[in-house]
């Protein structure tokens, strides 16, 4: 979507944005059910509440740009265009999954969409993004690498090293910090002396700004402006996207660090509900539109689950493949 249209989108554009956010929400709601049925195993980190960030930011990127994500990456993958069926198959651990069933929820990788994966290590995606951007710069390719990470990563050394090199070498990176106020169960003001995250990027002489991460149109505008600057060769940009996760850090999290009233207050201004209210009031959306988008999302999720259920497991004899580099005969 063109940035100039973002604050006054057409009905078609509004439906597209809302539909994209609902796809993520309905996919993950089903994932909770499947996890409780032990169809999905391991860790599961959900994106509920962050949907405006993935959907808005992806509007500003081209198919040639690269995406680096975190272990909370289902929303990024779906918004990027990773097919839902192979995403669900990956969560099942099936061989038809995006990473062949070997990555699971935290390690989605999809070469056709240049989705360079989730990463289970906090902050580990940042140097990968810098490396991808350096390669593009050296090859004189007009690409952008978008790097998503949580505010917990700013306490890692890799954050500071990556921002320093990106700024020093004027690399084409868009850093997207999803600040949901809690790194696992630790409140931001208990882990950071400076809680205005975007100032940390500014200290590296990098253009930075804080954005309402609950508003998909605001995210779209900010991402479009930042991406265009990066693509022009103006150096990296940093967006702090202020948001909130509605579910626990993972399904093993008892959430003893926050109360229900706080969660409910944030849910009232959630990205899907606030967008729907706004565009219903503007006459661009009806309740029937919303229900139709939910039905379409549920059908797509049903089809993805069916695909994962009928897919095969990787044969036992193949389990050692890709563990070590294969030696080739000269």
Query: What is the reported pLDDT for 186?
Result: 87
Query: What is the reported pLDDT for 191?
Result: 86
For the domain 3-318, what is the CATH code?
3.40.50.970
Residue whose tokens read 């090293």 = 161
The two three-digit tokens of residue 53, written as one number: 């960030």
- Average pLDDT value for residue range 114-136: 95
Residue whose tokens read 């002396």 = 193
Q: Which DSSP string do the residues of 120-183 spell out, in sequence order?
A: SSTTTHHHHHHHHHHHHHHTT----EEEEEEGGGGGSHHHHHHHHHHHHTT--EEEEEEE-SEE
pLDDT tens digits for range 281-317: 999 999 999 999 999 999 999 999 999 999 999 888 8
pLDDT at 251 over 80: no
pLDDT tens digits for range 128-138: 999 999 999 99
Query: What is the reported pLDDT for 3?
Result: 46
Q: Is the alpha carbon torsion for 311, 313, 318, 324 positive or negative?
A: positive
- Reduced to 3 states, what is the DSSP secondary structure of residue 3? helix
| Confidence band, pLDDT 50/70/90 cuts, at residue 6 | low
* Nearest partner of 74 among 100, 95, 43, judged by Cα: 43
144 Ramachandran zone, left/alpha/beta (phi>0; psi -120 to 50):
beta
Indicate the angle between helix axes 11-36 and 216-232, nearest 10 degrees.
100
SS (H, E, C) 8-57: CCCHHHHHHHHHHHHHHHHHHHHHHHHHHCCCCCCCCCCCCCCHHHHHHH
- Average pLDDT value for residue range 205-234: 97
Query: What is the reported pLDDT for 27?
Result: 98
What's the CA gap between 35 and 257, in Å, rounded?
23
Sequence-distant (6+) residues with CB within 8 A of 74 are 24, 27, 28, 31, 46, 47, 87, 105, 108
Cβ-based neighbour number of residue 108 at 10 Å: 28
| 314, 90 contact by CB (below 8 A) | no
pLDDT tens digits for range 187-200: 888 888 899 999 99
pLDDT tens digits for range 38-79: 999 988 999 999 999 999 999 999 999 999 999 999 999 999
The two three-digit tokens of residue 42, written as one number: 């391991």
| Confidence band, pLDDT 50/70/90 cuts, at residue 324 | confident
Query: What is the reported pLDDT for 4?
Result: 46
What's the CA gap between 167 and 147, in Å, rounded?
14
- Average pLDDT value for residue range 258-285: 92
What's the CA gap between 87 and 279, in Å, rounded?
30
What's the CA gap between 328 and 97, in Å, rounded?
27
- Reduced to 3 states, what is the DSSP secondary structure of residue 238? strand
- Average pLDDT value for residue range 98-112: 93
Q: How far is CA 320 from the centre of its chain?
A: 30
Count the helix, strand and coil residues of the chain and give each as a percent rounded to the nearest 5.
50, 10, 40
Average pLDDT, the chain: 93
Listing from the earlier edge strand, what are the strands of the sheet with 237-242? 66-68, 145-150, 173-179, 237-242, 207-212
What's the CA gap between 315 and 247, in Å, rounded?
35
């Amino acid at each position: 979507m063109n940035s100039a249209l973002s604050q006054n989108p057409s009905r078609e554009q509004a439906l597209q944005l809302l539909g994209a956010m609902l796809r993520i929400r309905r996919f993950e709601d089903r994932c909770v059910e499947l996890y409780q049925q032990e169809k999905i195993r391991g860790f599961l980190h959900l994106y509920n509440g962050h949907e405006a960030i993935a959907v808005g930011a992806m509007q500003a990127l081209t198919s040639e740009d690269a995406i680096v994500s975190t272990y909370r990456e289902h929303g990024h993958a779906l918004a990027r265009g990773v097919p839902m069926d192979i995403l669900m198959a990956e969560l099942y651990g099936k061989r038809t999954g995006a990473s062949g069933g070997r990555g699971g929820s935290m390690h989605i990788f999809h070469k056709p969409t240049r989705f360079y994966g989730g990463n289970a290590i906090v902050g580990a995606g940042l140097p990968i993004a810098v490396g991808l951007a350096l390669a593009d710069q050296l090859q004189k390719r007009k690409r952008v690498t978008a790097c998503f990470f949580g505010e917990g990563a700013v306490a890692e050394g890799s954050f500071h090293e990556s921002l320093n090199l990106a700024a020093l070498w004027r690399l084409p990176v868009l850093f997207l910090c999803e600040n949901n106020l809690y790194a696992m169960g630790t409140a931001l003001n208990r882990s950071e002396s400076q809680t205005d995250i975007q100032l940390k990027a500014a200290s590296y002489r990098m253009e930075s700004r804080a954005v309402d991460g609950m508003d998909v149109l605001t995210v779209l505008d900010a991402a479009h402006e930042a991406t265009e600057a990066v693509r022009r060769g103006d150096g990296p940009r940093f967006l702090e996207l202020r948001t909130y996760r509605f579910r626990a850090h993972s399904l093993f999290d008892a959430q003893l660090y926050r109360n229900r009233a706080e969660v409910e207050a944030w849910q009232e201004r959630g990205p899907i509900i606030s967008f729907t209210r706004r565009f219903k009031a503007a006459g661009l959306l009806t309740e029937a539109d919303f229900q139709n988008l939910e039905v379409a999302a549920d059908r797509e999720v049903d089809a993805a689950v069916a695909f994962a259920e009928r897919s095969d497991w990787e044969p036992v004899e193949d389990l050692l493949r890709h563990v070590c580099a294969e030696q080739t005969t000269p």
